[in-house]
């Protein structure tokens, strides 16, 4: 397999061989100036791995398990950070303040059990790790100084589709399988999970479940939660395995307690997930609106119509412009229906009627996805979506701040909420960037809906601004704190699908019901009395 010889970058997005050469980054720098109006005074080079210096590992693996551990510089550096902007910046500069002492690569649930129990015996923190694409500090060993050692447990060697049930349309898949890895194995059976988060290429099923990842579908199965039929985790109290059931009413759902637990209760090792036949019918359409508010009303009506589009992503004019998706100055709704069973022209036509009644300017309906980008707004946007994390690495080199935040809110509160969030974001970004809020070269703050529900949207905000070179982390942290305050004060959730991790803790702590936090802490103490499992995520032990 080709990928066996490829290594992921130790600091940014993708494989080492995907790092763009200097002349490509220069092209990006030119586009940054031409399109965004940001001056690029210098293109920095990332600090190479051999210039990185890490403290010595504080713990040696036991001889009987030694084969599954690594204490190599590459492994430790590559597992030191997630993939938030603040992580990429630090990795780019060669800053790895909290490296794990060891990285374990178990190959079976028994291996996981052995590593975990050894960690507990040693009092070492144990961080379950999938693709490492956390954007909320979920895998960074920030507790390093409070523990005698930190061991990151990387599930990448547990990447197989173990069983396929073509009758019930379900598959048992190991936690370490990446998006492309599991889709490739499912394709042999004519099946697909169709869970495509932006991190799809590198993130894993176990990571999706641990963090309640959001996927491809704009309606119905928005989160991985909805696709989990049963899950299995290794805990320090033994195996947590739920039954394969299409539905149940037997007490609080065990799966729903594991889903979103971010590694604090155990290590997810595999899960039965609901898969489906690959869609044969696909239609998509772009709809332009003069303003975001009109598009919002159309989307609200669609969300309450029972039509369930697979794609229903509303981009504001700024987002549409940044990604060259739609006509200038217009909000763009990217609407799509798909089915493996029947034609979807009728629901598309009904949805278009709704779009039209709210003043939408309808583009052509395209059957299936066109194979090339170009002038198709739907494809243009999808391509930009998947390329964004790669591009971000070059933006860091060019001194451009690029990050996002996301939430969900009910429709009745959305207009005021959105206005408040945008106002806060504009002010905070201007203050933190020293750039004028308006005019050429001003920061770009845009919004889109990633998922919609009958009772409200999940708005996703993206920020592009001139970076304070060398001080990017503080710059973003200032912005992030300001917008998080507003999001939570105005009734939103601190995260719709990015998880809580360590970065969202102050606001999560205000959001969740106190007795629920009491219950979760008690559950944690019961299953992990020494508090070795991913300490500091979600709750304080």
Please, which of residues 326-345 interact with a second copy by CB under 8 A? 339-342
**Span 506-535, contacts to a second copy by CB under 8 A:** 508, 511-516, 518-523, 525-527
Least distance to a second copy from the beta carbon of 95, Å?
Answer: 28
Q: Is 293 in the site for a second copy (CB under 8 A)?
A: no
448 binds a second copy (CB under 8 A): no
Residue selected from 123, 454, 470, 506 as contacting a second copy according to rule CB under 8 A = 454
Least distance to a second copy from the beta carbon of 193, Å? 13
Q: How far is CA 510 from CA 98, 411, 487, 491, in A?
A: 27, 22, 12, 11
Least CB distance from residue 462 to a second copy, whole Å? 18
146 touches a second copy (CB under 8 A): no
Answer for which of 61, 214, 309, 399 binds a second copy (CB under 8 A) is 214
Question: What residues from 147 to 206 belong to the interface with a second copy (CB under 8 A)?
Answer: 165, 167-170
Q: Does 243 bind a second copy (CB under 8 A)?
A: yes
The one segment of 39-47, 76-84, 301-309, 378-386 that binds a second copy by CB under 8 A: 301-309
From residue 505, give the alpha-carbon distance in Å to each of 39, 76, 126.
Answer: 35, 25, 19
Among candidate residues 11, 383, 8, the one with its CA nearest the CA of residue 202? 8
Widest CA span of the chain, in angstroms? 70
**Burial state string for 190-203 with b = 16 or more CB within 10 A and e = fewer than 16:** ebbbbbbbbbbbbb
**Region from 36-44, 97-105, 111-119, 249-257 binding a second copy, contact rule CB under 8 A:** 249-257
Q: Among residues 29, 149, 193, 213, which is the contact residue for a second copy, using CB under 8 A? A: 213
Pairing assessment for the beta strands 276-277 and 191-192 based on DSSP bridges: antiparallel
Q: What residues from 458 to 497 belong to the interface with a second copy (CB under 8 A)?
A: 458, 491-497
66, 50 Cβ separation under 8 angstroms? no
220 binding a second copy? (CB under 8 A): yes
Q: Distance between CA atoms of 453 and 436, rounded to whole angstroms?
A: 36
Closer to a second copy by CB, 5 or 516: give it.
516
User: Least distance in Å: CB of 329 to a second copy?
Assistant: 27
| Helical (H) or strand (E) element with 510 | helix 505-511
Residue among 83 and 504 whose Cβ is closer to a second copy? 504
112: left (phi over 0), alpha (psi -120 to 50) or beta: alpha
Sequence-ordered alpha helix ranges (H) in 212-343 = 254-258, 292-303, 317-322
Q: Which two tokens stand for residue 442?
A: 């001003």
Cα–Cα distance measured from residue 353 to residue 362, given in angstroms and rounded to the nearest whole number? 10
**Residue the block writes with tokens 């997810």:** 268
For a second copy, the binding residues in 396-425 under the rule CB under 8 A are 408-412
CB of 526 to a second copy, least distance (A): 4
CB 356, min distance to a second copy, A: 14
Q: Is 352 in the site for a second copy (CB under 8 A)?
A: no
Smallest distance, a second copy to C-beta of residue 127, A:
17
Considering the complex, state which of residue 66 and residue 519 has its C-beta at the smaller distance from a second copy.
Answer: 519
C-alpha dihedral sign at 153, 159, 160, 166: positive
- Residue closer to a second copy, measured from CB, 408 or 425: 408
- The site for a second copy, by CB under 8 A, has a size of 99
Asked if 457 interacts with a second copy (CB under 8 A), we say: yes
Instruction: Scan residues 41-100 and list those touching a second copy (CB under 8 A).
Output: none
In terms of CB distance, is 143 or 494 closer to a second copy? 494
Site for a second copy, residues 253 to 282, rule: CB under 8 A: 253-254, 256-262, 265-266, 274, 276-277
The rounded distance, in Å, linking the Cα atoms of 365 and 336 is 9
- Sheet strands (E) in 71-216: 102-104, 125-129, 150-154, 161-165, 170-174, 191-192
How many Cα atoms within 13 Å fall on the side-chain side of residue 10? Answer: 20
Parallel/antiparallel/unpaired status of strands 276-277 and 267-274: unpaired
Return the DSSP state at 50: G
Nearer to a second copy, 220 or 437 (CB): 220
Report in angstroms how near the CB of residue 113 gets to a second copy at its nearest. Answer: 12
Round to the nearest angstrom and report the end-to-end CA distance of the chain: 42
Residue 304 interacts with a second copy (CB under 8 A): yes or no: yes
């Amino acid at each position: 397999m080709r990928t066996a010889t490829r290594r992921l970058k130790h600091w940014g997005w993708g494989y080492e061989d995907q790092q763009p050469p200097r002349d490509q980054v220069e092209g990006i720098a030119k586009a940054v100036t031409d399109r965004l109006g940001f001056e690029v005074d210098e293109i920095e080079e990332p600090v190479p791995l051999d210039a990185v210096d890490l403290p010595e590992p504080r713990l040696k693996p036991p001889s009987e398990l030694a084969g599954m551990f690594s204490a190599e510089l590459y492994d430790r550096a590559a597992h030191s950070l997630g993939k938030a902007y603040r992580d990429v910046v630090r990795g780019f500069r060669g800053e790895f303040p909290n490296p794990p002492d060891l990285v374990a690569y178990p190959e079976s649930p028994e291996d996981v059990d052995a590593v975990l129990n050894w960690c507990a015996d040693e009092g070492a923190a144990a961080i379950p790790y999938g693709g490492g694409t956390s954007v909320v500090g979920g895998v960074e060993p920030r507790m390093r100084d409070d523990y005698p050692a930190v061991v990151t447990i990387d599930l990448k060697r547990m990447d197989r589709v173990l069983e396929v049930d073509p009758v019930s349309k379900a598959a048992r898949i190991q936690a370490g399988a990446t998006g492309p890895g599991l889709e490739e194995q499912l394709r042999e059976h004519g099946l697909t999970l169709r869970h495509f988060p932006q991190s799809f290429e590198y993130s894993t099923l176990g990571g999706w479940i641990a963090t309640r990842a959001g996927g491809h579908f704009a309606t119905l199965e928005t989160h991985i939660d909805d696709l989990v039929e049963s899950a299995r985790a290794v805990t320090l109290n033994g195996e947590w395995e739920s039954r394969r059931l299409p539905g149940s009413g037997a007490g609080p759902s065990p799966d729903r307690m594991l889903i979103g637990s971010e590694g604090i209760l155990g290590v997810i090792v595999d899960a039965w997930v609901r898969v489906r036949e690959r869609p044969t019918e696909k239609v998509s359409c772009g709809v332009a609106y003069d303003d975001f508010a009109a598009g919002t009303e159309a989307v609200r009506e669609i969300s309450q119509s029972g039509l369930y589009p697979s794609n229903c992503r509303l981009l504001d004019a700024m987002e549409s412009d940044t990604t060259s998706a739609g006509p200038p100055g217009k909000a763009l709704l990217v609407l799509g229906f798909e089915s493996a069973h029947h034609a979807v022209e009728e629901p598309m036509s009904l949805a278009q009627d709704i779009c039209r009644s709210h003043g939408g300017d309808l583009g052509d309906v395209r059957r299936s996805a066109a194979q090339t980008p170009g002038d198709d707004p739907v494809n243009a946007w999808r391509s930009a979506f998947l390329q964004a994390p790669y591009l971000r690495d070059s933006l860091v080199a060019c001194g451009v701040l690029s990050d996002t935040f996301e939430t969900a809110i009910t429709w009745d509160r959305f207009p005021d909420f959105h206005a408040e969030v945008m106002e806060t974001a504009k002010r905070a970004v201007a203050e933190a960037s020293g750039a004028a809020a308006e005019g050429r070269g001003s920061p770009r703050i845009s919004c889109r809906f990633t998922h919609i529900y009958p009772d409200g949207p999940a708005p996703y905000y993206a920020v592009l601004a001139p970076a304070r070179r060398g001080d990017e982390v503080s710059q973003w942290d200032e912005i992030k704190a300001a917008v998080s305050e507003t999001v939570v004060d105005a009734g939103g959730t601190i995260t719709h699908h990015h998880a809580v991790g360590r970065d969202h803790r102050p606001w999560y702590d205000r959001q969740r019901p106190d007795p629920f936090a009491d219950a979760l802490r008690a559950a944690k103490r019961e299953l992990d009395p020494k508090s070795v499992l991913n300490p500091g995520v979600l709750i304080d032990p």
